[in-house]
Chains A and B, each alone.
Chain A
Amino acid sequence: MKKIKLFISALFVLGILCFLNTKIGNVPALGKFLNPVTGIWQNENNETISDEVVIPGLIDKVVVYYDKQMIPHVFAKNDHDLYKAQGYLTAKHRLWQLEFQTHAAAGRLSEILGDLAINYDRTQRRIGMVYGAEQGLKYMEKYDRETLGFVHDYTDGVNAYINQLDPINYPVEYKLLDYSPEKWTSKKSALLLMYMTKMLAGRDDDLEYTNVLRLIGMDNFNLLFPDFFDSVDPVIPKQTDWSFIDQPQTNLPLNYVVLDTITETIKKPNPDNGSNNWAISEAKSITGNPILANDPHLGLNLPSIWMMMQLCSPTHNVMGTTIPGALSIISGFNQNIAWGETNATRDVIDWYKIEFNQDRTKYLFDDSWKDVRNRLEEIKIRGGETIIDTVLYTHHGPVVYDKNFKSNNQRSGYAMRWIAHDGGNHQRTFIELNKAKNYDDYVNALNYWDAPAQNFVFASTEGDIALWIQGKFANKWEGQGKFLMDGSNPENDWQSFIPQKFNAHTKNPSRGFVSSANQHPVDQSYPYFIFNDGYETYRNRVINDFFNSKDKFSIEDFKDLQNNNFNLKAAELIPFMLDNMEVSSLTKKEIEIYNEIKSWKFNNDINEVGPSIWREWYGELYALIWDELESDKVALIKPYTYQTIYLLKNEGDNNFMDIKETTDIKETASNLFLLSFKKAAERLIEIRNKKGNYDWVNYKSTFVGHLLNDLPAFSRFNIPIGGDRNIVNATSENHGPSWRMIVEMSKPPKAFGIYPGGQSGNPGSKHYDNFIDDWAKGEYYQLEFLQSINETENMIGTLILKPQENE
Chain B
Amino acid sequence: MNRNISNFSLTILFAIVFSIFLPWWSIMLASFISSLLISLKKIMVFLIPFFAVFIYWALYSYLLSSSNDFILAKKISDLFNIGSSPYLLIILSATIGGISSGASALFANQIKINLK
Contact = CB atoms under 8 A, between A and B. Distances in A.
B75 A32 contact: no
A766 B71 contact: yes
Interface string A280-309: 000000000000000000000000000000
Contacts of A765: 71
Interface string B12-31: 00000001000111111000
Interface residues of A, number: 40
Contacts of B60: 36-37, 41
Contact of A13 (B23, B72, B75, B103): B103
Which of A6, A10, A38, A176 lies at the interface centre, i.e. has the most chain B CB atoms within 10 A of its CB? Answer: A6
Nearest to B66: A44
Contacts, number: 117
B45 to A, nearest CB: 10
B87 interface: no
B48 interface: no
A136 interface: no
Contacts of B107: 6, 9-10, 12-13
Nearest to B93: A34
Interface string B104-116: 1011011101100
A773 to B, nearest CB: 15
B71 A44 contact: yes
B93 A36 contact: yes
Most buried by B among A5, A30, A31: A31
For the residues of A in contact with B, the DSSP-based class is helix
Nearest to A34: B93
A32 B64 contact: no
Interface in A534-588: none
B24 A32 contact: yes
B2 interface: no
A44 B79 contact: no
Contact of A6 (B89, B92, B110): B110
Nearest to A765: B71
Contact of B78 (A12, A17, A45, A713): A713
A45 B68 contact: yes
Main secondary structure of the interface of B (DSSP, over half): helix
B89 to A, nearest CB: 8
Contact of B68 (A9, A713, A764): A764
A20 B100 contact: yes
A50 interface: no
B103 A12 contact: yes
Contact of A40 (B76, B99, B109): B76
Nearest to A4: B110
A92 B28 CA distance: 33
A37 B24 contact: yes
A32 B26 CA distance: 11
Residue of B19, B64, B67, B70 ringed by the most chain A CB atoms within 10 A: B64
A763 B103 CA distance: 34
Contacts of B114: 2-3, 6
A37 to B, nearest CB: 4
Contacts of B24: 20-21, 31-32, 35, 37-39
Q: Which 10 A-B residue pairings sit nearest by Cβ, starting from the closest? A: A764-B72, A713-B79, A35-B24, A36-B61, A36-B60, A34-B93, A713-B78, A6-B110, A37-B19, A9-B107
Given A5-B113, A44-B64, 7 more contacts: A9-B103, A13-B107, A17-B100, A35-B24, A37-B26, A37-B60, A42-B64
Interface of B: 19, 23-28, 57, 60-61, 64-65, 67-73, 75-76, 78-79, 89, 92-93, 96-97, 99-100, 103-104, 106-107, 109-111, 113-114
